[in-house]
A = this chain, B = another copy of it.
């Protein structure tokens, strides 16, 4: 089994997400919140809407979460942990920097497309977090950035990549992947796998040493 397949299995394996959220009612509310936040945005979503989607009364929300913002924070934290785990799995995989970069982009994009409602909340609702919570989350994002930069640097050292501006290219690669959550939707013609494959190819072209 190749490193790519292993990562694919891992990403596809836990397609019953939010299992870490208990009890059942808290999970139902959280899933409802993800849907609502992704659809309308955090500030346009009311606690009545979230509770309604979960089939509960508005007051039920406050048994499991102190505030609406705490709900967002739980979602954001779990999502960022997952995103970072995906990148780390690719970094720790076997293979050349080229293979591991392709692996990282493929699985990272697949997650942003396949779980685009979650990813949208995770990537585009940071501003709605409290100062404390946002600071915590930004720490995780810096780690994601560092993982990609490390792969690029290793590829340059190995002579596989020609990247004049590693920090700039790191930002661009992550940006390209993250933005998938904005435009992807299930009505589109492509599957998450297809987008992942396309993007892995495009990113490799961006960094490959030109053979002239």
Residue of B at shortest CB range from A45?
B43
Stretch at the interface among A23-31, A70-78, A163-171: A163-171
Residues of B within 8 A of A124 (CB): 124, 182
Residues of B within 8 A of A51 (CB): none
Q: Least Cβ distance of A124 to chain B in Å?
A: 7
Decide: B198 and A165 in contact? CB cutoff 8 A.
yes
Which residue among A41, A176, A205 has the maximum number of chain B CB atoms within 10 Å of its CB? A205
Residues of B within 8 A of A210 (CB): 205, 208, 210-211
**Pick from B43, B44, B171: contact of A183, CB under 8 Å:** B171
Chain A positions 24 through 62: 1 when the CB is less than 8 Å from some CB of chain B, otherwise 0:
000000000000000011011000000000000000000
**Pick from B41, B44, B169, B198: contact of A172, CB under 8 Å:** B198
Q: Least Cβ distance of A169 to chain B in Å?
A: 7
A2–B179 CA distance with the chains assembled, in angstroms? 32
Decide: A172 and B202 in contact? CB cutoff 8 A.
yes
A104–B188 CA distance with the chains assembled, in angstroms? 26
A16–B200 CA distance with the chains assembled, in angstroms? 40
Decide: A168 and B127 in contact? CB cutoff 8 A.
no
Chain A positions 104 through 134: 1 when the CB is less than 8 Å from some CB of chain B, otherwise 0:
0000000000000000000010011000000
Show the binding face of A for B, using Cβ within 8 Å. 40-41, 43-44, 124, 127-128, 165, 168-169, 171-172, 175-176, 178-180, 182-183, 190, 195, 198-199, 202, 205-208, 210-212
Q: List 19 A-B contacts (CB under 8 A).
A: A40-B127, A41-B43, A41-B128, A43-B44, A44-B127, A124-B182, A165-B198, A169-B198, A169-B202, A175-B176, A175-B179, A175-B182, A176-B176, A178-B179, A205-B207, A205-B210, A206-B206, A210-B210, A210-B211
Q: Give the 5 A-B residue pairs with the shortest CB-CB distance, closest first.
A: A43-B43, A179-B179, A175-B179, A43-B44, A168-B198
